[in-house]
Structure formats: C-alpha cells, structure tokens
Copies of this chain bind each other. A is one copy, B any other.
Amino acid sequence: MTSHLMSVAERAQLAMMLEVCAFPKPGNVDRCHDYSNTRLEHFLASTIFARPALEEAASGKGRIGEIIGHAVRQTSVHNGGNTHFGAFILLIPLVYGGGIEGAEKAIVKTDVSDAVAFYKAFALTSVRINAEDELDVNDPKTLNELRERNITLIDVMQHSAANDMVAREWINGFMLTRRGADILHQIGPGREAIVEMFLTLLATEPDTFIIKKHGREVAEQTMTKAREVLDGRRVLETFDAECIDAGINPGSIADITIAAIFIALGEGWEWDS
C-alpha cells in the first residue's frame, strides 16, 4: 500500500478516475458505456485537466466558490459538456479542508463572493435547474440579487438542499459522502467495492438528478430496482440496460461516489488489491 505517496490533489484525481471506470454503474458513463455526446474519455480528460484547481484547493488558500469555478473552466475544454460539476461541489471543499471536518470549517466561511463565483461557474454548465427557481442561474439579475441580499455559498446550498442531494451534503456534514466511505471500508479493498457502494446508495437514496429529469416516481422505482440487484432478485446488467434505455442516469449519486472514494482512500481504503 503506497497511497501515502499521493498528494491530496492526486487522490482526488484517482477518485474521479476510479469512479468513472467502475462498471457496470447502472445508467451512467462507465468503462462499458458512453453517452453519445459524453464519453469515458471526456470524464478522464476532465480528471487530467482538473489538476490545477485541485492543487489550488489543496493549498488551503483562496476562496472555495472561485476554485469550484476554476475547476469547471479547466474541464470545459472538451466537447463532452459538464462532467464533474456536482463532484467539484463536494471535492473542492473536501480537498481544501483535507477531509470532512476541515471542509465543514471551510464552507461556513464562504461569503457572497463565493456565491457569485459559483453562479458564474454554474452558468458555464448545462446542469438542469428547477424552472421555478427564484435564483435562476441564467438570469443576469441573479448576481445582483445575491449581492444585494448578501447571500453566501452555504446559503445557496441551503436553498438548493431540498431538491439537490449534492447541495445537501454541504449542510448535513457530508453525510452520504461519509456513508459511502464507510461502505467501502466495510466491503473491503478492490474496484468491485465501488459498484457495490454505488448500488447501496442508489437503493437507499432517491437520486435528485433523476428526480429533476424524470420525477420522483422514476427515482423511487430506480431505488427499488437497485435493492433487487443487491438482494440477487434482479440482474445488474439488466438493470443497467433498463436505465440506459430510459435515459435514467443517477448523476448525483455518482458525484457523491467520487467524494466517498476520495475520503476512503485518505483513510487507507485500497483500490489496488
């Protein structure tokens, strides 16, 4: 075991790489599946290109909202669209703070400048937002409103938490990230543990990315199917094919999976056994 030789930024890159390679991850891009416009290589290119922002975060200096923006910009240089926006929302504070405890201390210090930087980064992505959202990322008035109301980035996450499980991590102590890392420790070493952890989160949490795209009922059906796979009552590959056919991709749980791998690696979980 030689993970102690890794820098924190490299550990984050390794987590991004291991997540996208893990297969089959029902409905998501993995070693066996591409989307027509977003392919394995796009995720891996983002993993390479995010290094400067991850190193900036690892320095523990600078502002988290801006560093998330840098990561989004550095990884927007290919044609694969947004690959890791949600993952950066989690990874940047976790790298910045050197873990969950440090991330929590860092995010309470975010201010309106972080919120503004974050919304500017958000506007670069095509991440689905709720049409009824009062702080519309595509509305130029939003930045003024953030400033006038002195809204911090943690306020933004609080605002989004009801409908977005990635934002919720910021206000609940990175609960699912912690749980995902614990699951990896329980299962033990090796890449196969990643798929099982992903399925376990999918069976127990409605993926908010699926809810935004397909509604709550589809997210709940997906949970049930994931449970059936874990219980041996449904074939994993069948579930994967069903998700792909219906355009169901559990993108938020994939983001949390990356954060969980990052934490577990830092605690000695071995990917390479």
Chain A residues proximal to chain B, CB less than 8 Å: 2-3, 5-6, 10, 13-14, 17-18, 21, 31, 39-42, 44-45, 47-49, 51, 77-80, 191, 271-273
What are 24 A-B pairs with beta-carbon distances under 8 A? A2-B77, A2-B78, A3-B77, A5-B77, A6-B49, A6-B77, A10-B51, A13-B48, A14-B48, A17-B44, A17-B45, A17-B48, A21-B40, A31-B31, A31-B40, A39-B191, A41-B191, A41-B271, A42-B272, A45-B272, A47-B48, A48-B48, A79-B273, A80-B272
* A45 in contact with B77 (CB, 8 Å): no
Copies of this chain in its oligomeric complex:
2
Chain B residues, CB < 8 A from A271: 41
Residues of B with C-beta under 8 A to A31: 31, 40
User: By DSSP majority rule, is chain A's interface helix, strand, loop, or mixed?
Assistant: helix
A49-B10, A80-B272, A273-B79 given as contacts; is B44 within 8 A of A21 (CB)? yes
